[in-house]
Amino acid sequence: MSDLVPILISKVNYWVYIALMMIGLWAVIAKNNLVKKIIGMNILQTAVILFFISIGAKYNATIPIIMHGHDAGHHAVNAIDYINPLPHVLMLTAIVVAVATLGVALALVIKVHQKYQTLEEDEILAKMDEQ
C-alpha cells in the first residue's frame, strides 16, 4: 500500500487521462442518446490532448521563450530550463481536428433529428425498420 501512493501521486497526469478516456469510451458504448455519445467521443479526444500536454512539462522549467530562462542570454540555451513546446504545438492542431469532428458530428445529429424526430438510438432504429 505504501508503494502505491507514490505511484498514484507521481503519475497523476496519466491516471487523469486514463479516467477521462474510460469515461468517454463508456459514454460512446453505453449511452442511448446520440448527443451523449458524441460528448463521450469528445471527452475521449480531450483525454488524448491532455495526455500530450502533460508530457511536455518538466520540473523547475519555464515557458519556452529564451528571455525567460535562467540567466538568459549569458550562455547557450539549456533545454532542461524550458518545458517542451512541441507536444503543445501538436495539440493545437489536434484541438482543431477535435472541434471539426464535433462540428460535423453535431451537424449530422441535427439532420438525424429532423428526419426521425428523436435522438434516442433505439427509437431511431425502430423507425428505420418501419420504413
Partner 1 sequence: MSQNLPAIVVILPLVTAFFVFFSAWWVKRAGYVLVIVALAGCGALSVWILTAVITDGPIHYWLGGWEPPWGIEYRIDHLNAMMLVLISLLSLITAAHSKESVERELPDKTALFWSLYLLFVTGLLGICITADLFNLFVLLEVSALSGYALIAMGEDRSLYASVRYILLGTIGASFYLLGVGCLYIATGSLNMADLGQLLPDLYQSKTILIGFSFIMTGLGIKIALFPLHGWLPDAYAYAPSAVSAVIAPLMTKVMAYALIRVMFTVFQPDFSISVTHVTDVMVWFGTVAILFGAVMALSQSDFKRMLSYVIIAEIGFIVGGIGVANTIAFKGAVFHILNDAIMVACLFLVAAQIMYRTGGHRIDDFKGMFSTMPTTAVIFSVGALAVIGVPPTCGFFSKWYLLLGGIQAHQWGFVAALLLCTLINVALFFRVFDKALYVHGQDTGGAHAGIPGNPHPSGVPLSMLIPAGVLAAAIILVGIFNQVIVDEVIRYTVPSGF
Contacts with partner 1 by CB under 8 A lie at 25, 28, 34, 37-38, 41, 44-45, 48, 51-52, 55, 87, 90, 93-94, 97, 100-101, 104-105, 108-109, 111-112, 115, 124, 128, 131
Nearer to partner 1, 23 or 48 (CB): 48
What is the C-alpha separation between 20 and 11, in angstroms, rounded?
15
CA distances from 20 to 39, 98, 103, 104, 131 (A): 12, 15, 21, 22, 39
Q: How far is the CB of 41 from partner 1 (least distance, A)?
A: 5
Q: How far is the CB of 113 from partner 1 (least distance, A)?
A: 10
CA 124 remoteness from chain centre: 29
